[in-house]
Amino acid sequence: MTQAATSLLPIVILISGRGSNLQSIIDCAASGALTVKVRAVISNRPDATGLEIARAAGIATEIIDHDLYADRQSFDHALQARIDQYQPGLVVLAGFMRLLSEDFVTHYHGRMLNIHPSLLPEFPGLHTHRRAIEAGHREHGASVHFVTADMDSGPVLLQARVPVKPDDDPASLAAHVLTQEHRLYPLAIQWFAEQRIFLDANGRIVFDGQPLTHPRDLAREQPLPC
């Protein structure tokens, strides 16, 4: 193994569907700008098209079909056991659309990230683009946060802001946000890989040695060259 290979952060990515964020992570890792090794992609849905993206990139894939488990706890147990076989330094939720139990989240405390298509704490949950338009918001976006037991919550480290135009509909707004997501998530993961960002003992984000009082804004950051 080369020196470069040993310094790559091992990650496992969880998906439920399309996998466009997965693709952006794979592309950035392939370019060398994102210093991670994707050890596995795990889906809770057998038909997730993101599984094809992972296979095409030569990444191990696993399916843990939630329909085959009696309850959330047994599903989460199986998922955790499978993830841990790959010994990731970071678990990356990329369009993973299952609620996770407190035990599961606690097990990965400080080493699990999620991306969500809103400017959290606005609009956790589903249909974020439609809700932002209906609320008359002029600005919308996406957030990367450390995962805690509450859905789409947890300390936010990085956000991308997108204007809501008068003629936007949920589909056009979703497309604009998604373009930003593909720049946002690799940068946040790279910060974690470089240990620039972590959770302290009180569950607060530390960024470059300082407490992070507000999420960083992608527009003010140096994007990854990928």
Q: Is 76 helix (H, G, I), strand (E, B) or coil?
A: helix
Is 133 a binder of ligand GAR (CB under 6 A)?
no
Of 77, 116, 129, 214, catalytic: 116
Tokens of 219: 């527009």
Angle of helix 170-193 relative to helix 20-31, nearest 10 degrees, comes to: 40
Sites for ligand GAR among residues 41-70 (CB under 6 A): 50
- Report the residue number, 152 or 168, with the smaller CB distance to ligand GAR: 152
DSSP 158-201: EEEEEE--TT--HHHHHHHHHHHHHHHHHHHHHHHHTTSEEE-T
The CA distance from 179 to 117, in Å, is 11
Stretch that binds ligand GAR, among 14-22, 98-106, 132-140, 190-198 (CB under 6 A): 14-22
Tokens of 133: 């338009």
Is 94 a binder of ligand GAR (CB under 6 A)?
yes
Stretch that binds ligand GAR, among 13-21, 36-44, 62-70, 215-223 (CB under 6 A): 13-21
* Distance between start and end Cα atoms, the chain: 25
Stretch that binds ligand GAR, among 60-68, 109-117, 161-169, 193-201 (CB under 6 A): 109-117
The CA distance from 28 to 30, in Å, is 5
Give the nearest residue (CB) to ligand GAR. 95
Sites for ligand GAR among residues 160-219 (CB under 6 A): 178, 181
Tokens of 61: 């894939």
Is 154 a binder of ligand GAR (CB under 6 A)?
no
Is 95 a binder of ligand GAR (CB under 6 A)?
yes
- The rounded Cα 74 to chain-centroid distance in angstroms is 23
One residue of 39, 45, 98, 116 binding ligand GAR per CB under 6 A: 116
Q: Please indicate whether residue 116 is annotated as part of the active site.
A: yes
For the chain, the C-alpha Rg in angstroms (whole number) is 17
With contacts defined by CB under 6 A, how many residues of the chain interact with ligand GAR? 16
The CA distance from 9 to 27, in Å, is 15
Give catalytic residue positions: 116
Binding site for ligand GAR (CB under 6 A): 15, 17-21, 50, 94-95, 115-117, 142, 152, 178, 181
